[in-house]
Amino acid sequence: MNAQARSTGHKSPIKVLVVDDSPTVREFLAYLFASDPGFQVVGTAANGEEAVAAVKNKKPDVVTMDIHMPRMDGYAAARAIMETNPVPIVIVTGSLSEDELRSPLAALEAGAVAVVRRPANFHLADQAECIRALMQTVKLMSEVKVVRRWGSHPQAKSMTEPHVDVSVQRDIKLIAIGASTGGPLVLRQILSQLPKPYPIPIVAVQHITEGFVGGFAEWLSGASGFPCRLAEDGESILPGCIYLAPDGKHMTVSRQGRVVLIDSEAEHGHVPSVSCLFRSVAEAYGAHAVGVLLTGMGQDGAAELGSMKDRGALTVAQDQSSSVVYGMPGEAVRLGAASQVLSPEKIAAALAALVYSESLSHGKEGVT
């Protein structure tokens, strides 16, 4: 997906289309949006076929999409919409088992921009936080400008040689990545293009709805071919694997190369936060680290990427044209925190080049 956030907000209510095969859920979600003056419910649909037609006829600003529906499921509907009349699609699901989570995460491949949990019941007082997250996510995603997608994703290019020059020899011990909206697909693209086994450990924070990170780790492993696991407190950070921050705790790293999970207040509205991770990496690894800040809303990690740069680390921000939302990387660029601003393909090439340059440093040739 090649997209970026619109620079101007809605001056009129956000037009939302609600898609779910359950009449009760459709009515409940429509009620929630209709209760907020910032939204206008332009229609509902009971299956994917109805959704595709409604998007064409009613031209919503954003679509909330269920996955498991008759006739055409949410995955197929999202793909059809993005190939014909592209509009931001937010997957709203009540499925939290690992098996069921694969479908909404796979829907991101079809063009959906976010996955959010559906309230577990219709008691507004009991589900206030879940409802708030749903409404906020849909409102924010309505501001994302999406473009038409044709067919399936292109195959990842072979990366037998690095395409990004590494002019300084670096003894890199750790790579830290932060991502939010749009991050899952970018992470998949980068990891799938790295040489395997990859000799440098990777730690990452991906903002994702609580309860989804376990399924996300499993999906990312299968989709990228790169081993992924949820980080555990005190474990050693080893090469050949990406360690994802779990729900509800900030992930930091120690000078001894171990994961340290901490209970602390949210930073930039997030637990775990990219800022907390990057700050610890700057302190523990200094110039022996790489920081990568990918697509996402807000400013999480931007200033701390600058702290990593100040300590001598190589710092990279995703470029605007490839970002679903150019908030986090854009703020890093504005602050001068990024040594390089690259597309996902070139980020993967840069990380591969680090390994390539290190191997050459042990041979007779230097990196040119």
Q: What is the CATH number of the domain that holds 30?
A: 3.40.50.2300
Distance CA 210, CA 212 (A): 6
Is there a single domain that holds both residue 228 and residue 308?
Answer: yes
Instruction: Please list, in sequence order, all residues whose beta carbon lies within 8 angstroms of the beta carbon of residue 262, skipping any fewer than 6 positions away.
Output: 249, 250, 252, 276
Q: Whose structure tokens read 């602050």?
A: 335
20, 73, 300, 319: the catalytic one is 300
Is there a single domain that holds both residue 28 and residue 70?
Answer: yes
CA atoms within 13 A on the CB side of 275: 16
Is there a single domain that holds both residue 113 and residue 219?
Answer: no
Q: What is the pLDDT of residue 258?
A: 98
- Domain count along the chain: 2
Residue-level pLDDT, tens digit, the chain, 368 residues? 444 444 444 479 999 999 999 999 999 999 999 999 999 999 999 999 999 999 999 999 999 999 989 999 998 999 999 999 999 999 998 765 555 555 667 778 788 888 888 887 766 666 888 898 899 889 988 988 776 655 544 443 434 344 444 444 568 999 999 999 889 989 999 999 999 999 999 999 999 988 889 888 988 998 899 999 999 999 999 999 999 999 999 999 999 999 999 999 999 999 999 999 999 999 999 999 999 999 998 999 999 999 999 999 999 999 999 998 899 999 999 999 999 999 999 999 999 998 865 554 444 333 32
pLDDT tens track for 96-129? 555 555 566 777 878 888 888 888 776 666 688 8
Q: What is the pLDDT of residue 322?
A: 92
Distance CA 212, CA 242 (A): 17
In a domain, 336, yes or no: yes
In a domain, 75, yes or no: yes
Assigned token pair, 218: 């499993």
Is there a single domain that holds both residue 215 and residue 300?
Answer: yes
Is there a single domain that holds both residue 62 and residue 207?
Answer: no
Distance of CA 352 to the CA centre of its chain: 21
Is there a single domain that holds both residue 305 and residue 225?
Answer: yes
Q: What is the pLDDT of residue 100?
A: 55
In the residue annotation, 180 being an active-site residue is answered as: yes
Instruction: Please list, in sequence order, all residues whose beta carbon lies within 8 angstroms of the beta carbon of residue 139, skipping any fewer than 6 positions away.
Output: 14, 38, 39
Beta pairing partners, 242: 202, 228
Q: What is the pLDDT of residue 302?
A: 98
In a domain, 158, yes or no: no
Domain extent, residue 88, equals 4-145
Beta-carbon count within 10 A of 196 CB: 12
Is there a single domain that holds both residue 202 and residue 128?
Answer: no
Sheet of 114-117: strand order equals 39-45, 14-19, 62-65, 89-93, 114-117
Is there a single domain that holds both residue 27 and residue 96?
Answer: yes
103, 180, 224, 273: the catalytic one is 180
In a domain, 163, yes or no: no
CA atoms within 13 A on the CB side of 348: 21
Is there a single domain that holds both residue 69 and residue 178?
Answer: no
Are residues 119 and 130 in contact, defined by beta-carbon separation less than 8 angstroms?
Answer: yes
**Entry pTM:** 0.82
Is there a single domain that holds both residue 81 and residue 126?
Answer: yes
Q: What is the pLDDT of residue 163?
A: 43
Of 96, 129, 145, which one is at a domain's C-terminal end?
145
73, 95, 207, 307: the catalytic one is 207
